[in-house]
Amino acid sequence: MDLAGKNVVYLGGFGGIGQKTCSELLERQLQALAIFDLTLNEEILTTWQSKFPNTKIFYLKVDITQRSDIEAAYKEAVERLGHLDLVVNGMGLMDDRHIDLTIQINLMGVINSCLIALEYMDKSKGGKGGMIVNISSVAGIQPTPLMSVYSAAKHGVTTFTRCLAHPPYFDIMGVAFVTICPGFTETPLLNDLADKITFKFETPMALRKAKRQPPQVCAENFVKVIEKAQNGTAWLLDVGEIKEIEFPVMWIPQLALAVFDLTLNEKILTQWQLKYPNTKIFYQKVDITEKSQIEEAYKVAKERLGHFDLVINGMGFLDDRRIVLTLQINLLGVINSCLIALEHMDKSKGGRGGMIVNISSVAGIEPTPIMSVYSASKHGVTAFTRCLAGPFFASSGVSFVTVCPGMTATTLIDNMQDRTIYKFDIPAELDANKMKRQSVQVCAENIIKVVQQAKNGSAWLLDVGELKEIEFPVMWIPPMES
């Protein structure tokens, strides 16, 4: 982050590392610096205001254990600054004799501060994005038995920060999360350390002889990290050195993919199973025109998986010469699949909720004369999906999303002119052979993006590699009796 002209909030700015870091930040020509702390250090504040007259610097009293204090401080800061670019959560307590306070200050306070700051920074809520930096500790990456409670709190900070850095969150909110883990630093936090440990055994030699870094050195490295850190990174700042931390993957959730289709492609299935050994992947034969087969497939999948999180209805057929089959596969099959899936996913029936994505088509949002039956079936899919996304079904906890791909290079559109109802000469503007097509890969990538960001009831156009949310006009409002 280029710090020049930025609005910064620093929680704990009058602390040992905080004072030195704020001084370093101010050297970067900030627009503003708001200090949230329990007690005002008037001497330091006046010194900064005199030395940096072009930066708006002010103090707001915050007891980090009181959520109402945090909320009020952020509200006033935003009123005075307009927006926030950078937040540093630097308040800390290290004293295992005070268990509740250690958790409240070091962990609960950071969690509350982050979530409240996001209300103002989140791009999806009108914010400008930015960065939130949480100060953890070496005790937040390595269990530290002498300070077991403090270590537990700081591990919580490290984990919480890494969780909020989840890429889909960043894509939506535009706020990067970064973890800082200082080593032993000469601050009041370490005073009388032997009296603040978890158990009163003899203080080990390692604690008495552990190397310490000056807070100025820690602060200089801290600001260097802010200037270069990417979302999700964590940094060790110890004995004057900077090192990006690489966390080993300790667990991979057991994902599962159940493929319902009429015919097994054994080669593809085997490739997926070999490439993704940590994902349970299996095939279930389904003729989508047979409701009993759909019911059986969902039953087997439920028995093998326990629950479903996401269902994608993607079976399709394009041949207007076969009217019944077109409607059975494209519309009736989707309707049956949705209603049967709901029996297992509906929260009001003991399910866990989730999302159902129905693949419609551009022919499902715009009448397509050369494929009238297909277009009718896909308009039905679009309408049905939007209906199930309505408030009547909110108790199910299942989101419904419509995806409308444009012309995509699949076998579905091969020789399309031979599968129309009427054999007229096709006008140039309706000639499928002259229409731009997107690759299957590009379409697939955009479907995944939609799944990751779509809200209930939304519909998406995926055409020539572009992704666009569709806005439907209101065509009718029922007249009501007075």
**Number of residues in the chain:** 482
CA distances from 9 to 109, 191, 371, 480, 482 (A): 15, 27, 59, 53, 55
Rounded Cα gap, residues 334 and 357, in angstroms = 10
Angle 8-221-89 from CA coordinates, rounded to 5°: 40
150 flagged as catalytic: yes
Strand partners, 59: 35
Alpha helices in 362-403 (DSSP H): 372-388
Q: At 431, is the secondary structure helix, strand, or coil? A: coil
Q: Which of 150, 276, 283, 422 is catalytic?
A: 150
Residue 333 CA to chain centroid, in angstroms? 32
Q: At 397, is the secondary structure helix, strand, or coil? A: coil
* Closest alpha carbon to 245 in 137, 127, 401, 113: 137
Report the run of H or E that residue 117 belongs to, with start and end: helix 109-121
* Closest alpha carbon to 85 in 182, 163, 172, 174: 174
Long-range (24+ apart) CB contacts under 8 A made by 163-171 are: 164/114, 164/132, 165/231, 165/232, 166/232, 167/231, 167/232, 168/452, 168/453, 170/231, 170/232, 171/452, 171/453
Neighbours of 106 (CB within 10 A): 28
Q: At 322, is the secondary structure helix, strand, or coil? A: coil
Strand partners, 178: 133
**What residues act catalytically?**
150
